[in-house]
Amino acid sequence: MSAARIDEATLRRSVMVASPLAVLLAWQVLSAARVFPPEVLVSPQAVLAAFGQLTASGELARHLGESLQRLLWGFSIGSGAGLLFGLAAALSPTFARLFDPLFQALRQVPVLAFIPLLILLFGIDEVFKIVIIAKAAFFPTALSTLDGVRGVPKAWFEVARIYRTPLPSLVWRVLIPATVPAVLSGVRLSLTRAWLVLVAAELIVADSGIGQMMEMGRQMFRLDVVMVGVVVCGVIGFALDRGFVLLQARLLRWRAQPAGAAA
């Protein structure tokens, strides 16, 4: 019985490794057999060569550096503001009543729809890109902070009052542990959204960055450059999310179930 289970696990693992390899192989065979013209389907080697070329010339590093810098600024500003907004709205009913309708209304509009407006207001410089990323990062963090802080059961405060818990330990021992998991999952969503919007904004207007590299590749029919861009976008997106999950697991290691395991 246990031998069979081990066999199945090995089989499963090998199939999961084999299937992407099979796709790569099919790609290689299709492009070698010239089923499609090379302008439509470049060979994996050509993509690899383009990658080597872009790396050697430092072009890829420059674009990526620009993109990540924008991401860092926009994401920090946006999620920081979201955290403050969420806290204020959860703790002060007046603040919530004042700003909630505006918040809900703005939340309904997809970030991408703000691009033309922000271009008109801020031009196509760096400010525009950072504002749009910050806007994308703001809402998930604000929402999850709001929900997280509001979701702390009233009874916990009552228990703390009965035990005459001083305020610092109330914050440190009750509020932060109760809200951090929710807040962090919002911040994680913010990071993903920020990356998505960054790539989109760079596709539309930019003089540098990974999105612009892909857009130039498209306009010059350099399919290999576009493919490199797609793969790099995917790898960076994955690395950002994984990195955050690891950080999350570390921050929440006091919990019985590590958060990273579920994700």
Partner 1 sequence: MSAALRSYGAGLPARIALGLLVPLALILLWDHQARHGGEHAFAFVSAAQVAGALRELWQSGDLLTAYGNSLRNAFGGLFWGSVTGLAVGSAMALLRPVDWVLTPLYHGLRQVPLLGWLPLIGLWFGSGDLSKVIVVSLSAFYPAVLYTYEGLKGVEARMLEVGQLYRLTPWQTFWRIRWPSALPSLFTGLLQSVAFAWIATIGVELLFPTGFGLGTVMQHGQLQARLDIVVVCIAVVGLTGFAINLLVARLSRHALRWRPVRT
Residues that bind partner 1 (CB under 8 A): 11-12, 15-17, 19-20, 23, 40, 94, 97-102, 105-106, 108-117, 119-121, 195-196, 199-200, 203-204, 211, 214-215, 217-218, 221, 223, 226-227, 229-231, 233-235, 237-238, 241
Q: Which is nearer to partner 1, 22 or 159 (CB)?
A: 22
Closest CB 217 distance from partner 1, rounded Å: 6
Residue 123 to residue 138: CA distance in whole angstroms: 21
Closest CB 257 distance from partner 1, rounded Å: 17
Do the beta carbons of residue 146 and residue 86 sit within 8 Å?
Answer: yes
Whole-Å CA distances, 140 to 71, 80, 185, 186, 190: 16, 11, 9, 5, 5
Do the beta carbons of residue 119 and residue 80 sit within 8 Å?
Answer: no
Q: Which is nearer to partner 1, 183 or 195 (CB)?
A: 195
Closest CB 27 distance from partner 1, rounded Å: 12
Closest CB 18 distance from partner 1, rounded Å: 8
Closest CB 213 distance from partner 1, rounded Å: 9
Instruction: Give Cβ neighbours of residue 31 (< 8 Å, ≥ 6 apart).
Output: 38, 41, 42, 43, 44
Residue 151 to residue 158: CA distance in whole angstroms: 15
Q: Which is nearer to partner 1, 32 or 231 (CB)?
A: 231
Phi-psi region of 165 (alpha: psi -120 to 50; beta: other; left: phi over 0): beta
Q: Which is nearer to partner 1, 176 or 263 (CB)?
A: 263
Whole-Å CA distances, 7 to 14, 15, 16, 25, 30: 11, 12, 14, 26, 33
Q: Which is nearer to partner 1, 149 or 194 (CB)?
A: 194
